[in-house]
Structure 1
């Protein structure tokens, strides 16, 4: 408020004039276009945006728009029917002629109008009530609206503040969308299994299934004073059903096919537009005939696990719709196959997805409230953040990258299954080492020999005693760093090929010999110390010996190693394994060689600042 107050004192200390919108701004008309025509001309690369009622927006080429009246200056569009709202748009656009827009020669003034109208949107929505089944306001409502008209300097500062907080809103909205996508990604990832987990028709884990019924509407004895919950397809919304607004009587249950179902059934809508949606009833209830109700055999599967499986199978179910209305039937649903791992694994999957579900649910409720709260804290954060907004660093966000998404998915899978399996090629880059004549050896920089790799599971600086003279290019190309894994590349026999050693120190300038392969980590999914042990397993040794090439000698390539599927436990589990194996490793050496929220309640704060920012003393007449 500091800067705004200073400007008000300077330019309008006695108050500001209030004028009708029609006396300050120029009204713009739209284009006579039907919904059908909009659908016909819509295209992704259209240069003109067309607004219709509610959220209907398309892009189209100007040549395809009949009787087009294009607005080519920034304007405030009044959505006057259905969803009553205002939209600021600064690119070429038009709109259905049931709506109207306002513009001005000064862009700041247009944006100021947008914020004033947006701040008073409830006034317009109240004016629309009682005007038929579809809310609608008349032109007079906005034309006669009295708005404050402070000097342009004051308008500019207010617009500057509110624009900057709009950036915060955009960031939060993007975060909400990202988290939803992230949740869906993890869910589907967790529900994709290896072939050794049984893939069974849903009917194999269902104890009992049935459809409900709709008691005759003409019989009041079936509905009046009913107390029995009656679930309809509109109640089935990928949710837990804890209450309904429709009830039937006991007489209806006794005389019709509407029967009780127990709690925790998986309910799938099977008719029309809702077909394929599912829910869980948390109350004992009845349903209509458009619901398939499945009681899950808890000795074979968890009901919540089956629910999540069906959620992930929605696209598949939708593709199976039949008939003009697009219906499903019980056999189509019960015949859909789902993976059925052990109950212990199902419990872990449900636990993870329950947590994500609550996060997404909380974000749906909490984050929009947070968005609104941030919109409303304009004045409070002005001096702290808005200057930085001009420089592009108003808000710092930890945006997920593909690698971060992958890592999170890996962690989840590790949590559920204990490990994840990845090809070595996704974990390491492979390179052969240095080949030089004997005259280059004896002086220079540290050099890892074949025998260093063959004889040591761990390599440290003090273990590297050989030296070699290298060019800067060779050092850059063949340099050694902590976490690099070396494999013996060639030998007389397959049994001596593929033995590994891991560099545990940051050694500085150092290269490695041409009879070894260096695997440089591309990720941080593996602890270097863990790598020292995992490539000594019987499974890896069998893989190596079966993938050696034989000419005069046995040899192994980086490409062959890259194809090996490595089981990777969590970092925590890796560390636990390392701790145990290190003890054994030390013991063997002794014997043989000498051993990882923001507070709520900003609404009132926002309202306070909003009212302060957009409230002006009227200029005395």
Structure 2
């Protein structure tokens, strides 16, 4: 069923009025109040900025159900920042605070604004700003309240499914971190119950910095010639014609904000100078080493200069615990199950969340595709 047919079935011949936001919404901006981070007192009340909750404070500026629209600083102009706030909350001066009058359902307003194109209403170039005057001019469709409520019911159900999955993902992430920290805590004598040998990373692994490759030789996607993944400091950055490594490898980001980032890959690949390539000897399971390096917070060993960096020689000197290979396999089996659930692109919860988000966007477009006559 196309968009028009679906909406026509809901509307049953009723016409949809179009009104400006200023006509159908209360603007509650006067109560907003910015608070410097150094003056915020920790509490349980969410403190909203343009893009999300920035902190939790004591006291509040608003109490009720409101839609928050970024005034400036939105992370993405094409997907403009729209937030839902319920109960007591604090809003700073980078977010507009609105709610509908009787003729428009607040949640309908929220869902509609989330899919709206805000760019025609923005000023300020790169530092986009939605002024109050421009916001008041935004045109909104006003179908009958019964239709609004039906649309909200459908979209809220899909949103709830995504929220449940996201909560489950956060729980699994915490479980993974808990078991990772417990299984890889070898500070106690004999590693807390089994024999552990301590050696330097350089004794059991080979570490090499990757090599520079011109950006002109990197393709953003796979084609007939560019078939090998090109690894930088934060995973795959494109595809190249030739590979520099073939096997099981771990990559450590070595420059700037990516210092200490840990990735793993098996197969043929090219590694750039932004990554340290780690290959393990036969006494180390590569996946055990991956989980171990992840928990070690390697960024703490970076230089403290304006452009932080990790030196290969310094990484080689790090002391690491080596349990038996059988124990390494046991640890890997446990942690990889949690890692798949939390981080896999092709399976597990992230893929399910991605599918649910697409489902929500599909139905939102269908249900909110009103056309002005």
How much does 1:182 deviate?
A: 2.1
* Structure 1 residue aligned with 2:112: 116
Provide the TM-score with structure 2 as the length reference.
0.72
Counterparts of 1:7 and 1:265, CA distance in 2: 56
Greater Rg by CA: 1
* Alpha-carbon distance change, 25 to 364 in structure 1, aligned in 2, over 3 angstroms: same
Say whether residues 1:25 and 2:25 are aligned partners: yes
- The residue that corresponds to 1:547 in the other structure is none
Q: Provide the residue aligned with 2:179 in structure 1.
A: 186
Kindly state the Cα deviation for residue 212 of structure 1 after the two structures are TM-superposed. Answer: 4.6
Structure ranking higher in helix proportion: 1
Q: 2:295 aligns with which of 297, 308, 312?
A: 312
Once the two structures are TM-superposed, the CA of residue 279 in structure 1 deviates from its matched residue by 2.2
Counterpart CA distance in 2 for 1:131 and 1:319 is: 39
Following the alignment from structure 1 to structure 2, what is the Cα–Cα distance between the partners of residues 46 and 188? 28
Cα deviation, residue 8, structure 1? 5.4
1:135-171 per-position Cα deviation (integer Å, ceiling 9, x unaligned): 5555566433332223444434544554455433322
Partner secondary structure for residue 143 of structure 2: coil
- The Cα of 1:45 is off from its aligned counterpart by 0.9
1:267 matched to 2:263: no
Equivalent residue, structure 1, for 2:222? none
How do 1:154-553 residues align onto structure 2 when only pairs under 5 Å count?
Answer: 154-192=147-185, 193=191, 194-206=193-205, 208-212=206-210, 223=214, 226=217, 235-237=232-234, 241=235, 243-245=236-238, 263-280=247-264, 282-288=267-273, 291-297=275-281, 299-314=282-297, 317-325=298-306, 327-360=309-342, 361=344, 362-363=347-348, 365-372=350-357, 376=360
Q: Answer whether contact 2:32 2:90 (CA < 8 A) is retained.
A: no
> After the TM superposition, which residues 4-153 of structure 1 pair with which residues of structure 2 at under 5 Å, given as runs?
13-29=13-29, 37-45=35-43, 47=45, 49-62=46-59, 70-80=61-71, 81-83=73-75, 84-106=80-102, 109-118=105-114, 120-121=115-116, 123-124=117-118, 127=120, 132-133=125-126, 137=130, 142-153=135-146
Q: Check whether the contact 1:27–1:102 (CA below 8 A) recurs between aligned residues.
A: yes
Where does structure 1 lack aligned partners over 5 or more consecutive residues? Answer: 64-69, 215-221, 251-258, 377-602
Could you tell me how far apart the structure 1 residues matched to 2:370 and 2:249 are?
Answer: 58
Deviation sequence 1:540-589 (CA, Å, 0-9, x none): xxxxxxxxxxxxxxxxxxxxxxxxxxxxxxxxxxxxxxxxxxxxxxxxxx
C-alpha displacement at 1:310, in angstroms? Answer: 0.6
- For the 8 Å contact 1:270–1:276, the answer to whether it is kept is yes
| Distance in structure 2 (CA, Å) of the matches to 1:327 and 1:20 | 53
Cα separation, partners in 2 of 1:617 and 1:209, compared to 1, 3 Å? closer
Per the alignment, do residues 18 and 303 of structure 1 end up closer, same or farther by CA in structure 2, a change over 3 Å counting? same
Structure 2 unmatched ranges of 5 or more: 1-6, 186-190, 219-225
Q: CA RMSD, aligned part only?
A: 4.2
**Would the aligned equivalents of 1:230 and 1:285 in 2 still touch at CA under 8 Å?**
yes
CA contact (8 A) 2:65 2:86 kept: yes
Query: How big is the shift at 1:368?
Result: 1.8
- Aligned-pair distance for 1:172? 1.7
Q: 1:40 to 1:106 in 2, by over 3 A?
A: farther
Q: Distance in 1 between matches of 2:324 and 2:291?
A: 16
Structure 1 residue ranges, 4+ long, deviating more than 6 angstroms after superposition: 4-7, 31-34, 128-131, 227-232
Aligned to 1:308, what secondary structure does the other structure show? helix
Shift of 1:247: 7.5
> Over residues 252-282 of structure 1, what are the superposed CA-to-partner deviations in whole Å (9 max), with x where a residue is unaligned?
xxxxxxx955543333234443222122354
8 Å CA contact 1:15–1:616 kept in 2: the answer is no
Tell me the CA shift for residue 230 of structure 1: 10
Judge conservation of contact 2:165–2:349 (CA < 8 Å) in 1: no
Alpha-carbon distance between aligned partners in 1 of 2:340 and 2:137, rounded to the nearest angstrom: 46
Q: Give the alignment's TM-score, normalised by structure 1.
A: 0.46
Cα deviation for residue 102 of structure 1 reads 1.9
Pair 1:305–1:323, CA change in 2 (3 A): same
Cα gap change, 1:213 to 1:136, in 2 (>3 Å): farther
Deviations 1:438-478 (A, max 9, x none): xxxxxxxxxxxxxxxxxxxxxxxxxxxxxxxxxxxxxxxxx
Kindly tell me the number of residue pairs found equivalent between the two proteins.
Answer: 343
Q: 1:195 to 1:21 in 2, by over 3 A?
A: same
